[in-house]
Amino acid sequence: MKIKELKAANPRAFGAAYRTWREGEGDPAHDWWDGTIEDAVTQGEERGFNISTNNSGRTSFYFSGFCSQGDGASWEGTIDVPKWVEWAKANGGAPFTDMQLLWMQEAWRNDFLGTELLVTARGSYSHSGTMRIDYDLECGEEHVPEVQEGVFKGMDAETFVIEFRKLVGSEIEEEVFRAAQAFADDYYKILEEEHDYLTSEECFIEQMQDIEYDEEGEEIENV
């Protein structure tokens, strides 16, 4: 009989066969996560999240799971902040007011504002709570007396910086940090779902569907 027939005829034998598979062949193959992490790298690039490669040549996306309180995912690399803002605007809206967006764009246009943040992940766990961002988007006038281009051309540079800090403050870094953590959390959920499937009864049945069993759940060898 086939595996589905065994499940109906002898649930206990089916359960034993499934447990044996889980303990041996049912363990997901080594590096089963590679495809998902490659997708995280691709999707991250679209958002301005540039996941780096570590010294051993592996992608700096880390995870552990899936049953401990400390389990989760994190990543290291850099964030292209203007690219992330544009992605956010095109996918549900950036978390800034129109006025904040205007001042940010003009600050970047005039090279008053940094464009890149460094992302690190520290500690003995892999969850997103271990991630840190180098808050290095300080707005400064770059030693010019006035704004050179754009909407605020001719404005005193020091005045521009003061007004920028009042209007935008550290909200850019805070929002980008939350987005970077959420990205790691989203891919942790994807990895967990993939692992759950690879160790599931459904996957077991799919892999065993061509095998013949006797009524006791023993495999019948083809002669």
21 and 7 both lie in a single domain: yes
113 and 207 both lie in a single domain: no
In a domain, 101, yes or no: yes
Is 109 a residue whose pLDDT tops 60? yes
Is 139 a residue whose pLDDT tops 60? yes
Tell me which amino acid residue 79 is.
Answer: I
In a domain, 114, yes or no: yes
In a domain, 92, yes or no: yes
Distances in Å between the alpha carbon of 140 and those of 109, 144, 147, 163, 223? 13, 10, 11, 11, 80
In the chain, what is the straight-line distance between the N-terminal and C-terminal CA atoms, in Å?
A: 16
- Residue 218 is predicted with a pLDDT of 83
In terms of residue numbers, what domain contains 7? 1-27+201-223
In a domain, 33, yes or no: no
- Residue 30 is predicted with a pLDDT of 67
In a domain, 64, yes or no: yes
- Residue 223 is predicted with a pLDDT of 40
66 and 9 both lie in a single domain: no
Q: What is the pLDDT of residues 11-31, one digit of tens each?
A: 998 898 888 888 876 567 668
115 and 23 both lie in a single domain: no
Number of domains in the chain: 2
Kindly state the tokens that stand for 99. 């006025």
CA 97 vs. chain centroid, Å, equals: 26
- Residue 1 is predicted with a pLDDT of 87
- Residue 222 is predicted with a pLDDT of 56
Q: What is the pLDDT of residues 144-202, one digit of tens each?
A: 999 999 999 999 999 999 999 999 988 899 999 999 999 999 999 999 999 999 889 99
What does the mean pLDDT of the chain come to?
90
120 and 208 both lie in a single domain: no
73 and 126 both lie in a single domain: yes
pLDDT band of residue 68 (cuts 50, 70, 90) is: confident
DSSP line for 176-197: HHHHHHHHHHHHHHHHHHHHHH
- Residue 26 is predicted with a pLDDT of 59
Percentage above 70 pLDDT, the chain: 96
- How open is the CA angle 82-119-126, to the nearest 5 degrees? 135
